[in-house]
Amino acid sequence: MVLSRNDLFWRHRDIGLKLVVETEKRQDYCFCIILGCKNTTCNLNADPFSPSLRSVQALLVVCSPLQVLAHDHVNFSVYVENQTRGRDAMSRRQHRVYQLYSRTSAKHVQVMGRRISAKGDDGDKYAQLVVEADTFGSQVRIRGKETNFYLCMNHRGKLVGKKASNRSADCVFVEMVLENHYTALMSARYTGWYVGFTKRGRPRRGPQTLPNQQDVHFMKRLPPGEQPDLQPFRFTTVSKRSKKVRGTRPTATTAPT
């Protein structure tokens, strides 16, 4: 029995379909089949209606939707985790100045050189903090505006202040907004350790903190005298008559007599 070109094409296409369906979990399998066929049996300069070349075309058609489906279900959490591991030293950093009000001590966080506390009053010069965006994933560095020391957490979980020249990973925190609208600061290096203070304003060690404790809850407050940069809301009044835009009729010009 002699097969026509059309029959040969569909037979090769069925073989390619079986190979792709059996190994559809491998995203690179389609490209391996095509490249292998190109290097061994396929000749791109051959007759465009040859069975081998038509089978490659069929594989391309079949592989394209498989590749799209594979990329539609990409887990971006892996990408976010990889991006947050490295520090971003090239991008321009965004700086914000505000105070951190401690829910437990009812005072503000102070960076007084190497000593950290939460005993500052509203407007205290040591309570004004400069928050720098460090890298991807809501990671920030907190620096005292007066002392120029960074808020850091060492390997024992103790809150300490370090000089601005020290670019240690101990000074990077993940800014988290909780369900009760308070802000928590978790160490980016020591996952699960939070910035917390007692009722007397003394810092707690990282291993003794949990995200549901009031000791780690803070509220952002602007320094006194500073207002947020908000543009006033402007109202635009629209009358019923101005809604309809009527076109002007062209004026008829009379020819000179």
With beta carbons less than 8 A apart as the criterion, state whether 145 and 124 touch. no
| CA–CA gap between residue 154 and residue 195 (Å, rounded) | 12
Residues 68-100: tens digit of each pLDDT: 444 555 666 665 555 555 555 555 567 889 999
Smallest CA-to-CA distance from 194 within 178, 127, 143 is with 178
- For residue range 19-32, list pLDDT tens digits in order: 444 444 444 444 44
CA dihedral 214, 217, 223, 228 (to 10 degrees): -130
Residue 66 pLDDT class (50, 70, 90 cuts): very low
pLDDT of residue 7: 52
Strand boundaries in 59-121, DSSP class E: 95-102, 108-112, 115-120
Quick: pLDDT tens for 178-237.
999 999 999 999 999 999 999 999 999 999 999 999 999 999 999 987 766 656 656 666
Is a pLDDT exceeding 50 seen at residue 35?
no
Q: Is the pLDDT of residue 114 over 80?
A: yes
Residue 126: pLDDT band with limits 50, 70, 90: very high
241 exposure class (CB count in 10 Å sphere: 0-12, 13-18, 19+): exposed
Distance CA 223, CA 125 (A): 9
* Overall pTM surpassing 0.75 (yes/no): no
> SS3 for 76?
helix
The SS3 of residue 162 is strand
Beta-carbon contacts of 257 under 8 Å, excluding residues fewer than 6 positions away, are none
pLDDT for the residue 47: 52
Q: What was the pLDDT predicted at 60? A: 47
Is residue 217 within 8 A of residue 180, CB to CB? The reply is yes
Q: Is 140 left (phi over 0), alpha (psi -120 to 50) or beta?
A: beta
Contact present, 185 and 194 (Cβ < 8 Å)? yes
Contact (Cβ atoms closer than 8 angstroms) between residue 104 and residue 214: yes
Using CA atoms, how far residue 9 sits from 19, 33, 36, 49, 119, in Å, is 16, 17, 19, 8, 81
